[in-house]
């Protein structure tokens, strides 16, 4: 990640750092003085035993090397709506270093019931722009690239080096296209789908055909009648993020062919093997 | 023969959560779906004894059939 010159600069900067806990202000100052991206500064700091205070409540769970690894990672989120908005928020707070967001849509009034990026004051605004704005407020270290295009206009170069993909799309057709693309690029895909009280989450490892199995029957999906309340979107998104972080930290088996299905009306959780 | 049928989410509406059903020997999954009045259009996932199965699958006594609708929202 670092050139020799950058490493020297950072060593000098941190040589003056007395306390082991690094505040946001200190990190930003070092980034500014050395002209090195904030993400790189935090990554370096963690490697030298300095703990960015903003990640203090992550470290007990992720570990210092885990936190450092997440700063190196690159993920792509397809869809910045109900699922995608929460996925983006949680990844930013967990310290995921590089995020690509794909969504051609603008914020609509009908999004207000569940989408984190939708606000009364930003209707009509492009979702990728709102994602960028949100990240600037929550975690400036995250490097974000937004693509306000539909999936079939997104070139492979935009995502082929991603470590992980989140399928937060609102239709089955595009989900299946996405699964094929991720398989070709050898990117594990975290699948999520929601409707009413119900949701499902699964990890689609490349070349397993799991998503084709899930949507084999291509029946009429029930969110068309039920809609989606906020809590269903938040729960599914959080399950997706947890699954994604497990993968990135190497705590996940690529032999999994499971899907978790939840029913919030009956409070039932099923693990299905496909 | 008796099979156990478990329905999930909206498929429970007008039907049931879990039931032991008496069906003719050598019924297929498709036969069972017809009995339950569940059309192809309503289908998401079909499992027999926890594993994915096709409509032509011939059911055996005490098989557990699980049926989920299709979810597509995001």
Closest Cβ opposite residue B70 in set A83, A221, A227:
A221
Nearest to A162 by CA among A149, A136, A143, A141: A143
CA B6 to chain centre: 7
Task: Report the pLDDT value the prediction gives residue A1, as an integer from 0 to 100.
Answer: 75
| Domain A73-273 of CATH type 2.20.25.190 | no
Task: Report the pLDDT value the prediction gives residue A219, as an integer from 0 to 100.
Answer: 85
Task: Report the pLDDT value the prediction gives residue A17, as an integer from 0 to 100.
Answer: 77
Query: Which pLDDT band holds residue A230 (cuts at 50, 70, 90)?
Result: very high
The span from the CA of A202 to the CA of B31, in Å, is 29
Asked if pLDDT for residue A51 goes beyond 90, the answer is yes
Backbone conformation region of residue A269, classed left if phi is above 0, alpha if psi is from -120 to 50, else beta: beta
Q: Which tokens in the block code for residue A173?
A: 């057709």
Question: B24 at the A interface (CB within 8 A)?
Answer: no
The span from the CA of B19 to the CA of A96, in Å, is 46
Regarding beta strands B64-68 and B51-52, do their DSSP bridges make them parallel or antiparallel, or are they unpaired? unpaired
For chain A, the domains span: 9-62, 73-273
Question: B55 at the A interface (CB within 8 A)?
Answer: no
Cβ–Cβ below 8 Å for B69 and A221: yes
Please compute Rg for chain B using Cα positions. 12
Cβ–Cβ below 8 Å for A84 and B74: yes
Local structure of residue A228 (DSSP, 8 states): -
Q: How does pLDDT run across B15-70, given as a tens digit for each residue?
A: 999 999 999 999 999 999 999 999 999 999 999 999 889 889 999 999 999 999 99
The span from the CA of B59 to the CA of B26, in Å, is 6
Q: Which residues of B touch A274 (CB under 8 A)?
A: 45, 47, 51-52
Region A154-181: mean pLDDT is 96
Q: Which residues of B touch A219 (CB under 8 A)?
A: 40-44, 69-70
- Do B60 and B72 touch, CB atoms closer than 8 A? no
Query: Which pLDDT band holds residue A2 (cuts at 50, 70, 90)?
Result: confident
Nearest to A45 by CA among A96, A11, A74, A91: A11
Q: How does pLDDT run across A135-147, given as a tens digit for each residue?
A: 999 999 999 999 9
Task: Report the pLDDT value the prediction gives residue A18, as an integer from 0 to 100.
Answer: 75
Q: Which residues of A touch B9 (CB under 8 A)?
A: 195-198, 222, 263
Q: Which residues of A touch B46 (CB under 8 A)?
A: 217
Q: Which of residues 207-246 of A touch B (CB under 8 A)?
A: 213-228
Distances (CA, A) of A91 to A15, A86, A148, A238, B12: 31, 8, 20, 10, 35
Chain B residue whose CA is closest to A81 = B74
In angstroms, the separation between the Cα of residue A172 and the nearest Cα of chain B is: 6
Q: Which tokens in the block code for residue A98?
A: 């590089």
Closest Cβ opposite residue A272 in set B47, B70, B71:
B47
Cβ–Cβ below 8 Å for A195 and B73: yes
């Amino acid at each position: 990640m670092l050139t020799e010159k950058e490493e020297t600069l950072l060593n000098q900067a941190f040589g003056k750092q007395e306390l082991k806990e690094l505040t946001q202000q200190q990190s930003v100052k070092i980034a500014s003085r050395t002209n090195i991206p904030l993400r790189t500064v935090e990554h370096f700091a963690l490697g030298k035993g300095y703990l960015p205070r903003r990640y203090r409540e992550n470290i007990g769970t992720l570990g210092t090397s885990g936190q450092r690894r997440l700063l190196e990672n690159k993920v792509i989120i397809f869809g910045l709506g109900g699922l995608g908005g929460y996925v983006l928020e949680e990844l930013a707070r967990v310290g995921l270093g590089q995020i690509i967001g794909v969504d051609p849509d603008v914020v609509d009034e009908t999004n207000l019931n569940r989408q984190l990026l939708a606000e009364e004051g930003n209707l009509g605004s492009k979702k990728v722009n709102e994602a960028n704005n949100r990240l600037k407020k929550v975690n400036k270290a995250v490097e974000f690239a937004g693509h306000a295009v539909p999936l079939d206009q997104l070139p492979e170069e935009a995502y082929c080096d991603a470590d992980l993909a989140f399928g937060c799309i609102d239709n089955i057709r595009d989900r299946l296209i996405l699964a094929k693309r991720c398989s070709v690029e050898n990117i594990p895909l975290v699948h999520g789908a929601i409707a009413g009280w119900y949701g499902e989450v699964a990890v689609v490892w490349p070349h397993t055909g799991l998503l084709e199995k899930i949507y084999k029957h291509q029946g009429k999906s029930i969110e068309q009648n039920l809609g989606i309340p906020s809590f269903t979107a938040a729960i599914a998104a959080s399950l997706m993020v947890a699954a994604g972080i497990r993968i990135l930290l190497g705590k996940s088996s690529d032999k999994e062919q499971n899907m978790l299905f939840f029913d919030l009306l009956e409070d039932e959780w099923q693990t299905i093997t496909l | 023969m008796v099979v156990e049928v478990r329905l999930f989410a909206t498929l429970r509406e007008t039907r049931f959560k879990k039931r032991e059903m008496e069906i003719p020997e050598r019924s297929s999954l498709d036969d069972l779906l017809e009995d339950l009045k569940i059309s192809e259009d309503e289908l998401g996932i079909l499992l027999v004894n926890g594993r994915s199965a096709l409509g032509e699958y011939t059911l055996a006594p005490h098989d557990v059939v699980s049926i989920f609708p299709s979810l597509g929202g995001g």
